[in-house]
């Protein structure tokens, strides 16, 4: 695996070695886990060149404290990438991607950014879109892979690609979970064993909603889930059923549409998100 810390060297390498090759790209913020690795593996199956980026993007964080406590495990990450046949790692400093004082661009993602994460993290998606836009223009991959645990983010990135006429095809892959059902996340490293076990109640409630989705009213299902989670000391930002294509919050079921249940909640101060397609 070749490691680059600046975009000019990476671009030059790709101009020489990436010609007529299918390129797969997995952008990450590091603290890699099985979810990230599943994306790498999928890319290596389909593409002749697989690139991973590790960059903790400051413009998508709500607070400096949250940015600073984000887990950093670069040596372990490099070993994992090598073990799983990643060809290139791009791991730059902030100055390689942002000019001094540069802020996130403002995008118009319409209804996609006006619900759920868009309400609770109002500048988050502009930050995500800004860095993904930069990275896709550097790498110019044929395919970019994202985990569907971040369902709303994946939809935002698909919209970004349309808006900016980027040729990269965005591929969303299923959520990888712990044995107890907890969605794999870099933030899980901030949870104790006991906290992780408690966090498993999130997935259990999503499963209950999925199993009863067509038999019970949405309001009743959500009310019951909220009560169970609160009783297990889990604080909820939101738990909502949405139409997957529009992210419109729904209270009525239309058999011709696809829905998902989405949640953001805190376990011992650590914010976790999850979803299930219904």
Helix (H) or strand (E) holding 89: strand 88-90
Per the DSSP assignment, residues forming a β-bridge with 172 are: 146
Reply yes or no on whether 33 is catalytic: no
CA dist 198 and 210 (Å) reads: 20
Q: Which of 177, 115, 157 is nearest to 27 (CA)?
A: 157
Contact 69, 29 (CB under 8 A): no
Tokens found for residue 6: 């600046």
Please give, one letter per residue, the 3-state secondary structure of 17-61.
HCCCCCEEEEEECCCCCHHHHHHHHHHHHHCCEEEEEECCCHHHC
Set 13, 33, 36, 124: catalytic member: 36
Taking CB atoms within 8 Å and a gap of at least 24, the contacts of 62-70 are 62/121, 62/123, 62/124, 69/190, 70/29, 70/31, 70/186
Per the DSSP assignment, residues forming a β-bridge with 240 are: 262
Contact 131, 158 (CB under 8 A): no
Q: Which of 5, 51, 8 is nearest to 28 (CA)?
A: 51
CA dist 248 and 222 (Å) reads: 16
Active site residues: 36
């Amino acid at each position: 695996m070749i490691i680059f810390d600046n975009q000019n060297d990476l671009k030059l390498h790709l101009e020489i070695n990436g010609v007529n090759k299918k390129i797969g790209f997995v952008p990450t913020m590091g603290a890699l886990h099985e979810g990230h690795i599943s994306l790498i593996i999928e890319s290596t199956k389909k593409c002749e060149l697989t690139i991973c980026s590790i960059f903790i993007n400051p413009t998508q964080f709500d607070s400096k404290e949250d940015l600073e406590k984000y887990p950093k495990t670069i040596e372990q990450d490099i070993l994992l990438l090598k073990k799983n046949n990643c060809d290139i790692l791009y791991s730059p400093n902030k100055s390689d991607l942002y000019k001094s004082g540069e802020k996130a661009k403002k995008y118009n993602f319409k209804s996609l950014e006006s619900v759920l994460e868009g309400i609770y993290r109002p500048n988050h998606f502009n930050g995500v879109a800004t860095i993904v836009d930069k990275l896709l223009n550097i790498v110019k991959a044929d395919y970019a892979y994202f985990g569907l645990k971040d369902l709303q983010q994946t939809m935002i990135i698909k919209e970004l690609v349309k808006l900016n006429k980027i040729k990269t095809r965005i591929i969303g892959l299923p959520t990888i979970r712990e044995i107890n059902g907890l969605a794999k996340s870099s933030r899980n490293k901030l949870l104790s064993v006991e906290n992780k076990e408690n966090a498993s109640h999130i997935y259990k409630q999503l499963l209950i909603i999925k199993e009863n989705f067509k038999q019970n009213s949405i309001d009743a299902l959500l009310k019951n889930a909220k009560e169970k989670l609160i009783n297990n000391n889990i604080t909820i930002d939101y738990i909502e059923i949405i139409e997957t294509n529009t992210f419109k919050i729904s209270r009525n079921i239309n058999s011709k549409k696809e829905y998902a249940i989405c949640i953001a909640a805190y376990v011992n101060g650590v914010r976790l998100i999850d979803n299930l397609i219904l």
